[in-house]
Amino acid sequence: MHELAITRSILSIVLEKAREVKAGKITKVDLRVGRLTGFVPECIQLQFEVLSRNTEAAGAGLNFQRPPAKLHCRRCNLDYAREDMSITCPECHTMEIDIISGSELSVESIEVE
DSSP 68: P
Told to check if 74 binds Zn ion by CB under 5 A, we report no
The dihedral formed by the CA atoms of 49, 50, 53 and 56, expressed in degrees to the nearest 10: -40
Told to check if 76 binds Zn ion by CB under 5 A, we report yes
Contacts of 89 (CB under 8 A, 6+ apart): 71, 73, 75, 76, 78, 80, 95, 96, 97
Q: How many CB atoms lie within 10 A of CB 71?
A: 21
In the chain, what is the straight-line distance between the N-terminal and C-terminal CA atoms, in Å? 31
Nearest distance in Å: CB 36, Zn ion? 17
Nearest distance in Å: CB 34, Zn ion? 21
User: Based on CB atoms, which residue is closest to Zn ion, 71 or 112?
Assistant: 71
Nearest distance in Å: CB 61, Zn ion? 40
Told to check if 73 binds Zn ion by CB under 5 A, we report yes
User: Based on CB atoms, which residue is closest to Zn ion, 44 or 69?
Assistant: 69
Answer for which of 5, 58, 85, 92 binds Zn ion (CB under 5 A) is: 92
Catalog residues that contact Zn ion under the rule CB under 5 A: 73, 75-76, 78, 89, 91-92
